[in-house]
Structure 1
Amino acid sequence: MAHEEPDSMPGDDLEWLEDEDSLTEVVDEEQLQGQAANAWLAAEEAYVPLDDGDGYLAVGGADAGSVVSALPAGSTVSEISTAPAVASRDDALAGDRPVYLVHHGARHANFLPVVMGDLHHKKGRSLTLGAVANLPSAKAAKISSFFQQASVAALRIADPQCYRLDDKILRLPPSPIGKRALEYSPYLASPEEPDWLRQVLNAQRAVGANLLLTPGRALNPDDPQNSLDAAFQQADEALALTERGERVALNLTVPSRWLASGALRNRLLDEILDQDQFDVLHIRIQWGASKAFAPTVDADLLMGIRRLANLCVDEGRSLLLPQTGLTGWFALAHGATGFGLGVSGSEQAFTEHAFRRSQPGRQQAQRYFEKQMLHTVDRSAHDVFQHAAGYINCDCVYCPALFDSQPWSHPLAALHHIFSMGALTARVHEDSERGGRHAAVRRIVAVARRWSSGLPLGSDDVPRHLPVWGQAL
């Protein structure tokens, strides 16, 4: 997977570049795909029936990932497998399967429904998929199209990203709201208007979201009570604007101090406990910048995430942790309902902006997610690891084409990463009969620690999070 070294919080999402308004287009996806990925996508169309007999899942070709009610003329149907029926929104949130949210970003986005369909076909009995798109980052029609093709997603979330208004609280890049964001999300220009909340909700409805979010303004740790009061008042007002059949999640954006500091954490958790009108929480956490794709090793923050997840599971609330990558996967052990990730580093962790001098001509690092190690490493390290005793080759459909392609295909590496994290999520459910999710995650982490301890690791490839996780488990 493309792994870019320490970057600004969302620096590898092109909509956040400081010169975003000079771009004539957000991204030319054709230039990002690579010949190997295009050849793979050109596979023959094929369909598998759903278990409930109510439609077919496309598992090959350009429409892979979509569910159709009737077979297109001339298409082939698998006679040796079926796919699970797509769960309803409410069943997804109340069910025992973990929720795996796939974030639509600027890179390789048109491949995401493909890998989501693949995951649903092969792992859909052990996980539930969700699709997330950021309203300020793409045209409404593009987001709607993404939701329509990724029809295996039980949850469709259109994130309003109103935290972009809070650059005095969060560490965001300069000019977090540019011309393009205002064009795509005009509500960001008018937070003081009387009907602002309705604008935020309507923008989500317009693209087909089925789980609405409250605005998600950032909570200020330097003015905790007033910030909490304002956020929950706004959330209550948004809840009052929902219509019959709609469901809204309490959406909060919190700097890591809210969870790492005992006093702030207790205040936040007490407030959440009192807000029993919200049974779904969507909480985005900003933590300190680290190496791209690396989970946080802040033990205090991990303890805070654990306490938050414990509270939610004890109170029967569904906790979704967007933009958390492996850290969110780890939180499944403590009661989180689901977590999210995407292709770029900014979709793996919502980290604080850190200035980085540009390096013209710098090539994308060739990175590969080692599921057995729970870590992303350099491709050259993978070439060594695969000959180590006990190494298990990845069996995803993307790896053969990835390692046969020259040059390295970043899109295929991304698909491998997203599929592998989905497989890990499903594995937590599959192994949870022996002691629940906590025990399942603990066993997976213990195996990763034992296997990686004897490997010849360069400093950039050491999974520093594993010892911290081991202590937390």
Structure 2
Amino acid sequence: MRLPAMTANTAKSFMNNVDHVPLRLVDPELWRIPGSGWPEATALKVTAGAWTHLQSPQPDKVEVAWARTILDVQRNHGATVLLSPNGWVSEANATVALRNAMKWVHQSREIVGDTPLWVNLTLDSRWLSDRTLRNILMNEIVESNERDWYLRFYWPEVPTRYGQVLDETILAGYKMLARDCTLEDKRLYLPNTALTGWIATALGAAGFSTGQSWPEQAFARQKIIAIKREGPPPAPIPRVFDSTVLHTMDYNEFERIRHLPDYKEYPTRFLEEIDADGHTPELAGLHYVAAVGNLTARLNDKRPNVVAYQRARKGQKFVDGLSAPDRLSGINRPLHLPLWMNLLK
């Protein structure tokens, strides 16, 4: 549960509906605090600003009372696993910044004792793509007594909304981090990563998070779109996730290609509802979550990287086999598939 995105009443209602789920995270998202260092940490919107824990900056030095407040807000809203009270970790003077962040983790461990606690850090993607930064991070992970690491990386702008990271250095960083965590018996969780997180999980990460909305699928710099000053705004593009090419595309394009030869259907109950009653963003979002859940379940295999490679290869084979008139173009092209195949080999 991403706390700042909800009102207190919505958060309570949501958690009441999932209180049977054994693993429940309540993310305070401290990187949102204005002045935290996150490049987009500007004035909070009304819903986020109503949360007391986001109304003042995190203290420069560790304060037991402040740490306890952040841990308590998670407990009070139904968390079964606590996230350390950490926000943005700057890549400038990285060793010192990470060491200071870990002081909050150590204090939190003293407060919670044996209660499950995950190290919760928010970092720029350069901590993945830059070898020096990645080594600093990995050294801290190896030297720490903490086993579970909940790491959110701020991506550069993703070219296609609801698309995937196309920066090969970032993808390689995920691979190396996932591999090293596996070797060191550390569990790596990657929030807000969508299918990029699915690939990282196939490569050794313990898990990832995604959701129906774009901000839940990608923690990334947002493209600035010029708004027309005259006339009505353009109609939103109806989108749907296609499990064959592992890509979210224009719904009309999806309807066209699903009837072509060699296309394989991966139905969900929500896609069946769309077929019966028509497309809605809500149903399309639920279909996406269900489809990604199915993909993730497939990774329960001795060689999950091979499973993911085979799915990516099948998707690319279908794309390559399309005749000239049927080829995918623009936002519908799954440009990430070749990158994934190279990564998974």
What amino acid sits opposite 1:426 in the alignment? A
SS in 2 for 1:398: helix
Q: What CA deviation, in whole Å up to 9, does each residue of 1:141-171 have, x standing for no partner?
A: 4223222322453310000101113656333
SS in 2 for 1:208: coil
Higher strand share: 1
Counterpart of 2:56? Answer: 189
The 5-angstrom pairing of residues 111-150 of structure 1 reads 133-150=1-18
What amino acid sits opposite 1:459 in the alignment? G
In structure 1, C-alpha distance between the alignment counterparts of 2:251 and 2:169, rounded to whole Å: 32
Conserved 8 A contact 1:166-1:217: no
The 5-angstrom pairing of residues 266-305 of structure 1 reads 266-275=135-144, 277-290=145-158, 291-305=160-174
What amino acid sits opposite 2:58 in the alignment? P
Alignment CA distance shift 1:183-1:278 (3 Å): same
Indicate whether 1:373 and 2:226 are aligned: no
What amino acid sits opposite 1:162 in the alignment? L
Indicate whether 1:426 and 2:291 are aligned: no
Where do 5+ consecutive residues of structure 1 fail to align? 1-132
What amino acid sits opposite 2:295 in the alignment? L
Conserved 8 A contact 1:171-1:353: no
Alignment CA distance shift 1:196-1:354 (3 Å): farther
In structure 2, C-alpha distance between the alignment counterparts of 1:172 and 1:266, rounded to whole Å: 26
Counterpart of 1:75? Answer: none
Counterpart of 1:458? Answer: 329
Indicate whether 1:342 and 2:226 are aligned: no
Residue of 169, 189, 205 corresponding to 1:320:
189
Q: What CA deviation, in whole Å up to 9, does each residue of 1:64-110 have, x standing for no partner?
A: xxxxxxxxxxxxxxxxxxxxxxxxxxxxxxxxxxxxxxxxxxxxxxx
Alignment CA distance shift 1:372-1:167 (3 Å): farther
How far has the Cα of 1:205 moved from its partner?
0.5
Where do 5+ consecutive residues of structure 2 fail to align? none
Alignment CA distance shift 1:178-1:409 (3 Å): closer
Indicate whether 1:417 and 2:284 are aligned: no
What amino acid sits opposite 2:196 in the alignment? T
Alignment CA distance shift 1:266-1:166 (3 Å): farther
How far has the Cα of 1:379 moved from its partner?
1.1
Alignment CA distance shift 1:229-1:258 (3 Å): same
Indicate whether 1:398 and 2:267 are aligned: no
In structure 1, C-alpha distance between the alignment counterparts of 2:57 and 2:41, rounded to whole Å: 21
Counterpart of 1:385? Answer: 257
The 5-angstrom pairing of residues 191-340 of structure 1 reads 191-192=58-59, 195-243=65-113, 246-275=115-144, 277-290=145-158, 291-340=160-209
Conserved 8 A contact 1:173-1:353: no
Structure 1 length as normaliser, TM-score? Answer: 0.67
In structure 2, C-alpha distance between the alignment counterparts of 1:167 and 1:447, rounded to whole Å: 46
Structure 2 length as normaliser, TM-score? Answer: 0.91
In structure 1, C-alpha distance between the alignment counterparts of 2:11 and 2:136, rounded to whole Å: 36
The 5-angstrom pairing of residues 353-364 of structure 1 reads 353-358=222-227, 361-364=233-236
Counterpart of 1:153? Answer: 21
What amino acid sits opposite 2:69 in the alignment? Q
How many residues align structurally?
A: 333
How far has the Cα of 1:243 moved from its partner?
4.7
What amino acid sits opposite 1:155 in the alignment? L
How far has the Cα of 1:287 moved from its partner?
0.7
How far has the Cα of 1:447 moved from its partner?
1.2
What amino acid sits opposite 2:186 in the alignment? R
Q: What CA deviation, in whole Å up to 9, does each residue of 1:230-288 have, x standing for no partner?
A: 101111111111155x211000111011110111111111111111x211110001111
Counterpart of 1:121? Answer: none
What amino acid sits opposite 2:256 in the alignment? V
How far has the Cα of 1:325 moved from its partner?
0.2
How far has the Cα of 1:186 moved from its partner?
3.3
Conserved 8 A contact 2:240-2:249: yes
In structure 1, C-alpha distance between the alignment counterparts of 2:240 and 2:46, rounded to whole Å: 35
